[in-house]
Amino acid sequence: MKNIYKHSNFSPDIFGHGGNKRTAQINELLINANINFREAKFSPFVPAGKNFLLYLKGIIYNRDLKAGFKNNYAIGRYIRQFETYVKNIRPNFFILESTSEYNILLFEVLHNNNIPIIALPHNIESLAYGFKSSFSNLKSPRWLFEELRYLEYCKKIFSISREEHWLLSCTGLNASYLPYFPTFELERYLLKIRSQKQFIEKKKNQNKKILLLGTFYNKPTLNGYIELIKNLKNYNDFEIIVAGFGAEKLNGMFVEKNVEVLGSVKNERLKNLIIECDYGIIHQEPSSGSLTRIPELLLAGLPLILNVHAARSNFDIKGLKIYDSFTELKDMLSSFTPILPPVLERPIEEKLFINYLRTTLN
């Protein structure tokens, strides 16, 4: 039996943020493929104490004195930690979700030890707004080719968005598309919300309720929603309800009566919001990855209006309206009649992923 290990920055949680949900989906697919895997634990292999040789190791690897002592020491420390882990655990195969910061060094250590890698990056980090390279200190997107160099070590890469699949394939990498879809447990929960929502009757002439839901610790989401609210706050014929992880960041920013910032909400409250609201709007700045809340809200029966940057990978899904400018959005809102979107089917790519795992790992 192969000694298969997996690593993610996030714990699986179907009610967590997008990273938790993607990891939960991947874990479920591995289990459905009958892959016996273990979570990699690197903490027992942290080098003990301060060691100047680790700084030298980082300098030799990075070859950039401008990176500073702290950064080069961290590089040497992580390389030693991963090398010690591989030497002691001796994995036969590795499944990696973590491509951020120093974790990316693990790709090269595994490759140097002839350990095949399947990568499922949650997004291309170098294309995410504001992210810097841990090695060159370049800001996104100027360190894209650094990240691609590490992804070249992979036997196979599964991207969360069609756009990243296209980009990786254009660089010659062996990439496929695995979209996010809720786990079976979360899917059942969302369909229960839909069954309650479809029987809610709206009073005539009642203001429409718009839900703005997201993880506001994500800068493209935060900036996008601030821009959206500024453009819609003076329209008194609908109510804007803001909720999600970190939505408290908007407290006190808007005083208009039709804008209500709820902040983080518990599952029961979120369920009721989805039932009460007429539709959701997702407005995001350009970024990488794909938004987990789009298929979830559609499954729960909430019609969605998205700007083109939020809609990435989702242009062919029914139940969506997509706009490219605020002028277009305002015209859309004046004539938009919310209709319960059709139930999404599980993507065929999940079956293809399972088949690949069974063929490769069993």
Within-domain flag for 30:
yes
**Contact status, residue 127 vs residue 144, Cβ threshold 8 Å:** yes
Within-domain flag for 81:
no
Paired sense of beta strands 259-263 and 320-323, if any: unpaired
DSSP characters over 303-322: -EEEETTTTTT-TT-TTEEE
Phi, psi of 204 (to 5 degrees): -65, 145
Q: Highest-confidence range of 52-61, 199-208, 293-302, by mean pLDDT?
A: 293-302
Domain identity same for 169 and 192: no
Within-domain flag for 54:
no
Task: Please state the pTM of the whole predicted model.
Answer: 0.93
For residue 10, what pLDDT band results from cuts at 50, 70 and 90? very high
Domain identity same for 113 and 234: no
Domain identity same for 166 and 36: yes
The DSSP call for residue 155 is: S
Domain identity same for 216 and 247: yes
Is 70 exceeded by the pLDDT of residue 90?
yes
In Å, how far are 3, 110, 354, 357 from 360, measured between CA atoms? 13, 17, 10, 5
Domain identity same for 272 and 135: no
Within-domain flag for 105:
yes
Domain identity same for 174 and 199: no
Domain identity same for 117 and 14: yes
What is the tally of structural domains in the chain?
2
Domain identity same for 12 and 99: yes
Domain identity same for 257 and 322: yes
How far, in Å, CA of 139 to CA of 222, rounded? 19
**Cα end-to-end distance, the chain, whole Å:** 8
For residue 1, what pLDDT band results from cuts at 50, 70 and 90? low
Q: Comparing 81-95, 141-155, 170-184, 304-318, which segment has the lowest mean pLDDT?
A: 304-318
Q: What's the mean pLDDT when you consider all of the chain?
A: 91
**Contact status, residue 143 vs residue 104, Cβ threshold 8 Å:** no
Share of the chain above pLDDT 90, in %: 67
What pLDDT score was predicted for residue 72? 86
Q: Which residues pair with 156 in a beta bridge?
A: 118
Look up the CATH number of the domain holding residue 32: 3.40.50.2000
Q: Highest-confidence range of 68-72, 143-147, 217-221, by mean pLDDT?
A: 143-147
Domain identity same for 113 and 139: yes
Within-domain flag for 61:
no
Within-domain flag for 71:
no
Please compute the mean of the pLDDT values over residues 38-53 and round it to a whole number.
89
Is 70 exceeded by the pLDDT of residue 173?
yes
Which residue range is the domain that position 331 belongs to? 184-335
Domain identity same for 203 and 330: yes
Within-domain flag for 327:
yes
Domain identity same for 275 and 249: yes
pLDDT digits (tens, 9 = 90+) for 138-157: 889 999 999 999 999 999 99
Is 60 exceeded by the pLDDT of residue 37?
yes
Within-domain flag for 75:
no
